[in-house]
Amino acid sequence: MLGAVAGIVSGILLGNVVAILLKTGFVVPWVWVIRGIIVCSLVGLAAGLYPAFKASKLDPIVALRYE
């Protein structure tokens, strides 16, 4: 989530800098921002839950034997 927030903030800041340099307007596409946050959240959950479910099925003694 911190990566998503950092990306949003840096994107808005960079977009405003470019808009000032080009003397144009800058519009924040909030729909894409929300979609990005949702995708980041889903990927983070999947990346955390899949290994956790896989590890929960292991016997701790057997798992520690190979460490």
Domain boundaries, the chain: 2-65
pTM > 0.75: yes or no: no
Task: Give the model's confidence band at 18: pLDDT under 50 very low, under 70 low, under 90 confident, else very high.
Answer: very high
User: Considering the chain, what is the average pLDDT of its residues?
Assistant: 88
CA dist., res. 7 & res. 15, Å (int) = 12
Measure the CA dihedral 47/51/52/56, to 10°.
Answer: 160
Question: What pLDDT shows up at residue 67?
Answer: 65
